[in-house]
């Protein structure tokens, strides 16, 4: 009698815990493949190590933003698909009025979110429940410059942190 052995890594446990199926993992791998293709398009041959590393450093935020977006969609799918919400001002239940995109800059890169929008006719105010769930402020940049500066100092002393100027 032959016994099959299956090894489960801690990462496998994580995937199972948040309900990620094989096709979801394939989606992440596809994002990574696309990212590698984009990086490869920038390389023309003859680059030194510094040029290669700098290009990878620039592009990694794009990949990490995509991965973060994937996890938000997976972990908060119920919130993203809700059709009704309770108005935080008056307590009335209101229907979804559409979907709006928001880009949030984080220390790992930009995250683009399409989130449900709700309009309360009584209060004449709109709101985004997902913003509250994710603890997003009304600002695009959520105090990331200090953290980016620290990462920049640790990783790339000759580079300038992206989007942290006070323009």
Mean pLDDT of the chain, nearest integer: 77
Residue that terminates a domain, selected from 36, 59, 75: 75
Predicted local distance difference test score (pLDDT) of residue 97:
97
Same domain, 46 and 94: no
| pLDDT > 90? residue 136 | no
Average pLDDT of the residues in 94-112:
90
φ/ψ region of 124 (left if φ > 0, alpha if ψ in -120 to 50, else beta) reads left
Predicted local distance difference test score (pLDDT) of residue 4:
46
Same domain, 141 and 108: yes
Does residue 2 belong to any structural domain of this protein?
A: no
Q: What is the pLDDT of residues 119-132, one digit of tens each?
A: 999 999 999 999 99
| pLDDT > 80? residue 142 | no
Q: How confident is the model at residue 115 (pLDDT cuts 50, 70, 90)?
A: very high
Give dist(CA 128, CA 138) in Å, integer. 11
Same domain, 71 and 89: no
Number of domains, the chain: 2
Give dist(CA 166, CA 141) in Å, integer. 12
CA-closest candidate to residue 105, choices 61, 154, 153, 152? 61
Same domain, 148 and 89: yes
Q: What is the pLDDT of residues 16-39, one digit of tens each?
A: 555 556 666 777 788 788 888 888
Give dist(CA 130, CA 122) in Å, integer. 21
| pLDDT > 70? residue 53 | yes
- Could you tell me the residue range of the domain that residue 124 belongs to? 83-167
Q: What is the pLDDT of residues 56-92, one digit of tens each?
A: 888 888 888 888 888 898 889 999 999 999 999 999 9
In the DSSP assignment, the letter for residue 1 is: -
Spacing of C-alpha 147 from chain mean position: 17
């Amino acid at each position: 009698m032959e016994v099959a052995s299956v090894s489960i890594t801690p990462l496998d446990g994580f995937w199972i815990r948040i309900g990620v199926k094989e096709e979801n993992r394939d989606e992440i791998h596809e994002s990574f493949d696309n990212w590698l293709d984009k990086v490869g398009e920038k390389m023309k041959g003859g680059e030194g190590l510094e040029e290669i590393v700098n290009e990878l450093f620039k592009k990694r935020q794009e990949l990490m933003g995509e991965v973060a977006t994937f996890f938000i969609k997976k972990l908060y799918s119920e919130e993203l698909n809700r059709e009704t919400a309770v108005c935080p001002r008056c307590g009335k239940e209101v229907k979804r009025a559409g979907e709006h995109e928001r880009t949030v800059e984080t220390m790992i890169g930009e995250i683009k979110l399409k989130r449900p929008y709700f309009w309360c006719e009584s209060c004449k105010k709109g709101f985004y429940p997902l913003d509250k769930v994710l603890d997003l402020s009304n600002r695009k940049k959520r105090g990331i410059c200090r953290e980016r500066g620290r990462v920049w100092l640790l990783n790339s002393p000759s580079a300038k942190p992206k989007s942290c100027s006070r323009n």
